[in-house]
Amino acid sequence: MNRSDTTKTLLEKHWDTTKQESVPKTNATTTGTSVTSLADGSSRDTAEPIAILDESKVEKLTSLSRTTRWRMERRGEFPKRVRLSPGRVGWRQAEIEAWIRSRSA
């Protein structure tokens, strides 16, 4: 979907600038995955797309209240939140799914 800059969300604008600034490099130490180095010096695995889940989706997936998740996060028992803007947070979908799998194992 292609939207004009005026209707793009903050996350979409950030993604567009990150895509333009990224320099693909293959890391020889990884096996079968491609790693992209970003302009800020960080890197991420390009084989898996990044999805951010909002508060309501995380609550539905985990069946935990906001307060319980906050307490567990502070104790290191739940994935850390990602600040998307001054008034918005989310969680990486892959981390939430891994947490759910670890609880059912």
Rounded Cα distance between 2 and 47, Å, is 22
Is 30's pLDDT higher than 80?
A: no
DSSP state of 66: H
| pLDDT (average), residues 22-39 | 46
| pLDDT (average), residues 28-52 | 57
| Residue 12 confidence (pLDDT) | 65
